[in-house]
Amino acid sequence: MQSMMQWFGKASRQLSGVIERANTFKPEYTLKNSLHLGVIMRFRFVQQFFSAVSLVSISMIASAQTCTPINVVPVTLGTPGKYCMTQSISTALTSGVAISVTAADVHIDLGGFILDGSAGGTSSTATAIFHNSWQRGFRLSNGTIRGFNAAVNAGIYATNPNPVLIEDVRIEASRGQALIVVGDHSIVRRVSIEGVVPRVGQTSASGVIASGVRQRFIDLDISGIAEASGGVGHGVTCSGCTGAMLEGSRIAGGDGAGIFRGAWLGGSSIARRNAIHNADEGLRFSGTGSKYQDNLFTGVATSVIGTATDAGGNF
């Protein structure tokens, strides 16, 4: 970026010199001088363009410099701001939290890197990222979380008005549950969850566990949820939610020995344009007032359970 800005500065100075020399000509109204003035105008436009690009580049660098690096875990983020992983991090935590968020208005950018807790072993109870959902403005984006009991636990309180935003995250090899989201109007989008098995001594496993009002789950890829015998597996469970929306997602059960549900939503919810495969139950609804439309089911014993309106296009 710095070399690019140096090039812009050099080009701008050269253009300034050309324009300064060109302005020494007298502007007599001849065809030749008219063409000459046109060239000057074009040079000035290009100079202004380079100046504008240089300002944008400076702004981008300043923005990047405001991101506080995360280089090691465990760590507590107790100040509002943006935090960025600068490398992949592996930890052998067997309990506790790798990244704990206790402040409001925190954005964690994983930077395309991996936060890996696999070394903690299969009996680990460690959580990758814990956010006190009573604090507003939490956002998590852009990276992979692997091998934790829970990848993200964005919640403490059963009900609260603070939404969280989780997007462009891949979660692999979780135990018990991959993602826990509490907060009204929260958004989970473009999240991939692959492989969730029960913790040692337990039987159930879930991709997303949520609670709140009008939460949105958009463009999710969930597969490999493998509950044990006597347990229940869920792709998404928000059974106590009101007005939840599940849209454009792909959910497939794993080789579990219990009962697997693609999604369980509360009253007045919407399930639209989802594909569900290899499940005992495709969609389950609690309460009343829900609708489902344009969903596809394959390898599903019972497509829909509960009181909900079929709005058409479901196969």
- State residue 18's pLDDT score: 43
Structural domain count of the chain: 2
Angstrom distances, CA of residue 302 to CA of 20, 233, 240, 268, 271: 79, 15, 21, 21, 16
With respect to residue 315, please indicate whether it lies within any of the assigned structural domains: no
CB half-sphere exposure, 175, CA atoms < 13 A: 20
Backbone angles phi, psi at 80, to 5 degrees: -55, 150
Q: Are 264 and 284 spatial neighbours (Cβ–Cβ below 8 Å)?
A: yes
Ordered mean pLDDT values, 10 residues apiece, the chain (315 residues): 50 51 47 46 49 44 71 97 98 96 97 97 93 91 96 73 94 95 94 95 95 96 97 96 97 96 98 98 97 98 98 98
Residues 154 and 298 in one domain: yes
**Statement: the pTM of the whole predicted model exceeds 0.75:** yes
Residues 114 and 23 in one domain: no
Same domain, 197 and 120: yes
Rounded Cα distance, 5 and 10, in Å: 9
Are 132 and 40 contained in the same domain? no
Predicted confidence (pLDDT) per residue in 138-160, tens digit: 999 999 999 999 999 986 655 67
| pLDDT score at 315 | 97
263 inside domain: yes
Residue 290 lies in a domain: yes
3-state secondary structure labels for all residues of 218-261: ECCEEEEECCCCCCEEEEEEECCCECCEEECCEEEECCCCCEEE
* CATH code, domain with 208: 2.160.20
Full residue range of the structural domain in which residue 173 is found: 69-310
Per-residue pLDDT, 134: 85
- Same domain flag for 128 and 23: no
The predicted structure's pLDDT at residue 109: 98
Identify whether residues 168 and 304 lie together within a single domain: yes
pLDDT at 46: 44
8 domain-assigned: yes
Among 33, 63, 93, the domain boundary falls at 63
Tokens representing residue 235 in the block: 């792709």
